[in-house]
Amino acid sequence: MPRRVVIPEPFCSRPFRVRHARSAGVPVDVLDGPRFRRPFRGVRVPASLPDTLVTTCRAARLALPREVAFSHETAALLCDLPVAEFDGRVDVIVPPGAVVPRLDRTDARTGLDPGTVIDVHGLPVVAPERTFVHLAATWRLDDLVALGDAMLRRWTTPEGLHDEVCGLTRRRGIVRAREALRMIRPGVDSPMETRVRLLIVAAGLPCPEVGVNVIDDTGAWLARPDLSYPRLRIAIEYDGDHHRTDQRQWRRDRFRDEQLRDAGWIVIVLTADDVLRHRQRTIDRIRRHVQLRSAAIG
């Protein structure tokens, strides 16, 4: 039985160029065998590495020119931001005047502003503020608002995003970006919470407040509902799957709801089905409570 070829570092722990491995003595038949993936021409990835977007982008970086950066949906995903649809192709962008690379499994564009590039996972990535503007050209408004809400949790401030959008003119999608900017709110914990808020507003109901602390009559803190109408004492909570499967979370949620109801609040708990499949039923439910409470307090 032939002896198994020992692969030296760094060729067994990260993406690499084929020519470098050949120079180090790794045989061609091994490089073309099952021990490696071949995502791009002239590049190999050890099969033992997870097939993630970060790994794919590190491999693509070896086959792309130095001035390239990852952009659009790829940039959003690398920054752990919500993307409604992703076709698996890597989005890259180069500065004006640079040669647009032609590489399988990539979508390449021109128009990169080098001043907007940041380091994420050791990769050159277009910053979220500029990515927001890039994606405004093709994304639905609701998806763009969900992206903006998520950006405010980690990457930027309302003022920073406002300055980025308002500082750009005559750019495809800039009108939609400005419209989305007016609808973005800080303090939102998940994209589905954004979709609940937008569903309510689209139905003509007042925009609920985000993350307002509820204090009881003694000054004690009770809860911080996802959405609420404080004057009406109506709280709207979105419970994702982890709220149901995590017993500790489930118990905390139920205690929170009991505290609010004891203080005279109406608590409306929504799930993904309520938001995505039974939208009208959900709106009718919220509208009924808003009308009843509004009539009660005059």
Residue 169 is predicted with a pLDDT of 86
Location of structure tokens 């800080």:
186
SS3 assignment, position 30: helix
Instruction: For residues 68 and 112, give the distance between their C-alpha atoms in angstroms, rounded to a whole number.
Output: 8
Whole-prediction pTM: 0.90
Name all domains of the chain by residue range, CATH numbers in brackets: 16-51 (no CATH), 58-183 (no CATH), 191-297 (3.40.960.10)
| Residue 233: DSSP 8-state | T
Residue 243 is predicted with a pLDDT of 52
Note the pLDDT tens digit of each residue in 141-158.
999 999 999 999 999 999
Instruction: For residues 271 and 243, give the distance between their C-alpha atoms in angstroms, rounded to a whole number.
Output: 10
H/E stretch holding 12: none
Residue 5 is predicted with a pLDDT of 76
Note the pLDDT tens digit of each residue in 195-210.
999 999 999 999 999 9
Residue 175 is predicted with a pLDDT of 95
Which residues in the chain come in under a pLDDT of 70?
1-3, 241-246
The tokens of 135 are what? 């994606």
Length of the chain equals: 298
Instruction: For residues 107 and 123, give the distance between their C-alpha atoms in angstroms, rounded to a whole number.
Output: 17
Instruction: For residues 101 and 65, give the distance between their C-alpha atoms in angstroms, rounded to a whole number.
Output: 7
User: Which of 135, 95, 248, 256 shows the shortest CA–CA distance to 148?
Assistant: 135
The tokens of 79 are what? 């920054």
Instruction: For residues 94 and 105, give the distance between their C-alpha atoms in angstroms, rounded to a whole number.
Output: 16
Instruction: For residues 192 and 196, give the distance between their C-alpha atoms in angstroms, rounded to a whole number.
Output: 6
For 146, residues 6+ apart whose C-beta sits below 8 A from its C-beta are 82, 84, 191, 194, 195
